[in-house]
Amino acid sequence: MSESLAPRAAALDAADELAGARKLFALDDAVYLDGNSLGALPAHVPDRIADVVTRQWGQLRIRSWTEGDWWTAPERIGDRIAPLVGAAPGRIVVGDSTSVNVFKAVVGAVRLNPDPARTDVLVDATTFPTDGYIAESAARMTGRRIVPVAPGELAGALGPATAAVLLNHVDYRSGRLHDLPSLTAAVHEAGALAVWDLCHSAGALPVGLDAHGVDLAVGCTYKYLNGGPGSPAYLYVAQRHQAAFDSPLPGWTSHEDPFAMSHAYTPAGGAVRGRVGTPDILSMLALEAALDVWDGVSIDTVRAKSLALTDFFLECVAAYVPEGRVTSLTPAAHAERGSQIALRCDEAPRVMDELIARGVIGDLRRPDVLRFGFTPLYVGFADAERAARVLAEVLSEQPRD
């Protein structure tokens, strides 16, 4: 192993303007590099949820729908997420899972582009599997054809038959960042609508939904937004589409007059029509509390630290790990990198087990990918150096019997 990079890590941490955010989270001595699967717990959330359970639910009971503002939570929390993805208020509604929102968005996009000559729904061929499953089902149900396309080949696949395109902003496996502005522009040039999955980008880098003319977008909140396991996802509907957006899952809470209990459905105005049923209040209010850690934080500052962290981690890997033992699958170019590093390793299952046993928490993507997520609010440069050093130690050892 070459000379230690620990002193450099300490200097970088001392100069880090986000270093103070770390104390807002409930962390132990482990290096937690799996926030791209499940974000760490903001330390104040348990007390906030205790109040929701004991006072709001336990004492106010049904009155909390109004006195506790439970009813407005999906739009209110959507407005708090909006600045993190470059959206104006009133364009995001929180609720349901990412999968359910992908279904709403893809079907809604096809219904916004109903020309029968537009027979195709294009989907990123490298997408997270569920997105592909949902898109294929949505295409069948709308009488369209699903067309898997490699992200680099999208421009050549677009044409007069394209109705909608579903794309991931950051590839969940490799960490590759796709060019949202140029791909959205290409989709629009072809007369189609762009639907983006932001699960691996929201809270890690600027998105610019409004600025880049995205039509519809979805995302989860339990990764970089730290909303907790199974926290509700969100749906973005561009202002220009809201009046015509036709959700395939109309529900009583998206009715213009929910408590009229009318048998005739009339959708509410705005993104609210993306609601379906009764909000999942406990997890939704945990998410709302978790979003407090973003108060006063610039997403541009987060992005700058993310790139510096991943650069430094790759530098440490190159310095510590013997040549040829791992290969980065994540692009080196900043414009093509999300906030994770994926390393191909022949011994990946053994290596990740050993890393976790030694307090470096990443995750495995079978058969041979070690995946490390860097959440700038609570991951520091010393964490990156330690992770690379322990990785080198593990790789230097023989497999256990």
Burial-class residue 358 by CB neighbours within 10 Å (0-12, 13-18, 19+). Answer: middle
Burial-class residue 213 by CB neighbours within 10 Å (0-12, 13-18, 19+). Answer: middle
Q: Which two tokens stand for residue 22?
A: 């770390």
Ordered alpha helix ranges (H), 203-347: 281-290, 299-320
Q: How far apart are CA 187 and CA 158, in angstroms?
A: 7
Does 278 show up as a binding residue in the annotation? yes
Nearest to 198 by CA among 226, 231, 164, 167: 167
Q: Active-site residue 381, yes or no?
A: no
Does 130 show up as a binding residue in the annotation? yes
Q: How far apart are CA 123 and CA 201, in angstroms?
A: 18
Q: How far apart are CA 54 and CA 369, in angstroms?
A: 44
Q: Which residues contact 262 (CB under 8 A, 6 or more apart)?
A: 255
Does 128 show up as a binding residue in the annotation? yes
Q: Active-site residue 223, yes or no?
A: yes
Is the CB of residue 341 less than 8 Å from the CB of residue 313? yes
Q: Which residue in 104, 223, 337, 389 is the catalytic one?
A: 223
Q: Active-site residue 197, yes or no?
A: yes
Coil vs helix vs strand at 373: strand
Q: Which residue in 91, 173, 275, 371 is the catalytic one?
A: 371
Q: Which residue in 124, 197, 280, 383 is the catalytic one?
A: 197
Q: Which residue in 32, 222, 245, 372 is the catalytic one?
A: 222
State which H helix or E strand residue 218 sits in. Answer: strand 216-219
Q: Which residue has the tokens 């916004």?
A: 112
Contacts 24+ apart (CB under 8 A), 130-137: 130/98, 130/99, 130/102, 131/102, 131/166, 131/168, 131/197, 134/99, 134/102, 134/103, 134/106, 135/102, 135/106, 135/166, 137/103
Does 252 show up as a binding residue in the annotation? yes
Does 327 show up as a binding residue in the annotation? no
Q: Which residue has the tokens 């960042």?
A: 177
Does 98 show up as a binding residue in the annotation? yes
Does 222 show up as a binding residue in the annotation? yes
Helices 299-320/6-14 angle, 10° precision: 170
Ordered alpha helix ranges (H), 71-162: 73-85, 98-112, 129-141, 154-157
Q: Which two tokens stand for residue 267?
A: 């959708």
Q: Which residue in 25, 32, 128, 236 is the catalytic one?
A: 128
Binding-site residues for pyridoxal 5'-phosphate, in ranges, read 98-99, 128-131, 197, 200, 222, 252, 278
Binding-site residues, in ranges, read 98-99, 128-131, 197, 200, 222, 252, 278
Q: Which residues are catalytic?
A: 128, 197, 222-223, 371
